[in-house]
Amino acid sequence: MSTRFKPKFNIKKGDSVVVITGDDKDLKKPRQVLEVNIEKGKVLVEGVALATHHIKPSSQNTKGGIEKQEAFISISNVMLWDAKAKAATKVKRDRIDGKLVRISKKSGEAIK
């Protein structure tokens, strides 16, 4: 991504999204966004793109072992979930009382 201008994305931490492309594609199952990396244009979504990490034994974790963790996926592979319409939706921004609010294009409701 370009470093001159900071990109603006409609997806924030804690939003419900659906994965629209890739191995974990499921248009009817909303999932939580755990983290957003704006500089790289990637998101960490709960239960998506599970990667295997080998953990070395240490003083806190004496066993070590193999653990599955979510990996970042491109922000273009997810779409915001509209709970009222029960479908994925595009977003528009509107000023209400001087604040910028995200509004669902399917239901017309403000996204919290």
Let me know: does 29 contact 45? Beta carbons within 8 Å. Answer: no
Positive or negative: CA dihedral 17, 23, 29, 34: negative
Total of domains in the chain: 1
Any domain includes 10: no
pLDDT in tens, 63-103: 999 999 999 999 999 999 999 999 999 999 999 999 999 99
pLDDT of residue 23 exceeding 70: yes
> What's the domain range around 64?
16-83
Find, among 79, 75, 91, 80, the residue nearest to 39 by Cα. Answer: 75
Task: Please give the average per-residue pLDDT across 10-31, as a whole number.
Answer: 96
Any domain includes 23: yes
Any domain includes 110: no
pLDDT in tens, 30-54: 999 999 999 999 999 999 999 999 9
